């Protein structure tokens, strides 16, 4: 069976291609990996975006939890990157943003500035905030 290409779109530095059997992402370590749902392909690229950064980066969900964080945050500690008391406030910053729009947010008590990027991965759950440190 030949997979015909439907939609092609860019997402967080990667590409999502719809084919008859699902969705492929590029780049991907497994060339033949096909996701059944668009949201799964978007989630993979969001994780890749976060993981590829050398600076601290994480994904904050609507409950104020870090759904994912990169190796730098793992080494420094997630509470040192964004303490729990700030996470809901950090997530709230993305609610008024358009998809892929960013805003800088200062964590004054930590002397840290983070960039918050609003992204909708799965319409059933709403936006998530992609967060990365921009200066400290």
The Cα 136–Cα 131 span in angstroms is 14
For residue 69, which phi and psi values (nearest 5 degrees)?
Answer: -150, 155
Give the confidence band of 1 by pLDDT, cuts at 50, 70, 90: very low
* DSSP character string of 65-101: -EEEE-HHHHHH-HHHHS-HHHHHHHHHTTTTSPTT-
Give the confidence band of 71 by pLDDT, cuts at 50, 70, 90: very high
CATH fold, domain 54-136, is: Beta-Lactamase (3.30.450)
The Cα 25–Cα 40 span in angstroms is 10
* Predicted TM-score of the model (pTM): 0.86
């Amino acid at each position: 069976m030949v997979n015909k290409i439907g939609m092609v779109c860019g997402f967080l530095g990667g590409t999502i291609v719809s084919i008859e059997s699902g969705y492929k992402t590029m780049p991907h370590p497994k060339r033949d990996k096909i996701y059944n749902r668009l949201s799964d392909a978007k989630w993979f690229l969001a994780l890749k975006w976060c993981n590829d950064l050398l600076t601290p980066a994480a994904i904050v969900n609507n409950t104020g939890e870090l759904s994912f964080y990169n190796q730098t945050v793992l080494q420094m500690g997630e509470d040192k990157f964004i303490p729990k008391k700030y996470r809901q406030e950090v997530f709230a910053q993305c609610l008024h943003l358009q998809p892929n729009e960013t805003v800088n947010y200062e964590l004054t008590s930590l002397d840290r500035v983070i960039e918050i990027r609003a992204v909708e991965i799965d319409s059933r759950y709403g936006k998530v905030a992609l967060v990365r440190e921009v200066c400290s």
